[in-house]
């Protein structure tokens, strides 16, 4: 089965009304392939503006959500709220949420369940620290992070999940996993899904690479058989994001 190439942008805690209007105008004028699915993740407060401004063949994502639809949870945002203001996706499990905000594998899995129940699709981030890679436990770490989700979701829910493999040592550092390193982990994730869920889910689930992806380094990785796209940080705040969307051309 041919998996549709997926490119996500993650703006993190960046943006302003003026900057978003300027950037979306450039994105909207760009030429992009029709067979690539594109999603942009923005801070909560800018999701409605982005949903209104962005080209309609691209989708908008929230960068996080809570596990309840509503209630006395000051400062939290529910998946239902994200959907209500125009988001179709949510990014969950990002290493910055795991390491800085101390979110556990189980809490992230609970969020995945709630987001899918609310009708959002999920970009699920997994990845290892530098010391974990150097210790040779990359796959054990990634499998542990995935295992919590496997235990929580139904098999059919995987149709609404894109896995984003993001080695933590490559996020915002300028270091990038080589295409071969990315392919090795992606292939191992697919084998894990085959044994933990099913051969169908393993074959159909898209696995994107994230970690200092830019217009110069994306094309070689895009050719690897198990690299089904990218989750892009800093470069998604620049016009060069269009070059990454066109990486398969």
The pair of three-digit structure tokens given for residue 249, joined into one six-digit string: 């051309």
The catalytic residue among 63, 94, 110, 128 is 94
What gap in Å lies between CA 154 and CA 157, rounded to an integer?
5
The catalytic residue among 37, 96, 128, 166 is 166
Q: Annotated catalytic, 186?
A: no
Q: Annotated catalytic, 166?
A: yes
Listed in sequence order, the residues at least 6 apart from 185 whose beta carbon sits closer than 8 Å to its beta carbon are 138, 139, 142, 165, 167, 177
DSSP symbols for 109-177: HHHHHHHHHTT-EEEEEE---HHHHHTT-HHHHHHHHHHHHHHHS-GGGGGGEEEEE--GGGSSSS---
- Candidates 235, 215, 219, 236; CA nearest to 227 is 219
The residues assigned a catalytic role are 94, 166
């Amino acid at each position: 089965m041919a998996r549709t190439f997926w490119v996500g942008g993650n703006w993190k805690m960046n943006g302003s009304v003026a900057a978003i209007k300027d950037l979306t105008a450039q994105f909207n004028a760009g030429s992009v392939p029709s067979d690539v699915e594109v999603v942009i993740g923005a801070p909560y407060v800018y999701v409605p503006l982005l949903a209104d401004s962005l080209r309609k063949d691209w989708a908008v994502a929230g960068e996080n959500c809570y596990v309840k639809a509503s209630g006395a949870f000051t400062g939290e945002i529910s998946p239902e709220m994200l959907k209500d203001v125009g988001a179709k996706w949510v990014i969950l499990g990002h290493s910055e949420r795991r390491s800085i905000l101390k979110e556990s594998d189980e809490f992230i899995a609970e969020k995945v369940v709630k987001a899918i129940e609310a009708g959002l699709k999920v970009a699920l981030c997994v990845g290892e620290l530098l010391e974990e890679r150097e210790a040779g436990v990359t796959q054990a770490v990634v499998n542990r992070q995935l295992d919590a989700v496997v235990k929580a979701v139904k098999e059919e829910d995987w149709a609404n999940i894109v896995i984003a493999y993001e080695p933590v040592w490559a996020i915002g550092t300028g270091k990038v996993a080589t295409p071969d390193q990315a392919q090795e982990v992606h292939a191992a994730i697919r084998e894990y899904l085959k044994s933990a869920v099913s051969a169908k889910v393993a074959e159909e689930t898209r696995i994107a690479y994230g970690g200092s992806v830019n217009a110069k380094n994306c094309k070689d990785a895009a050719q690897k058989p198990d690299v089904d796209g990218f989750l892009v940080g800093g470069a998604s705040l620049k016009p060069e994001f269009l070059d990454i969307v066109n990486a398969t051309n």
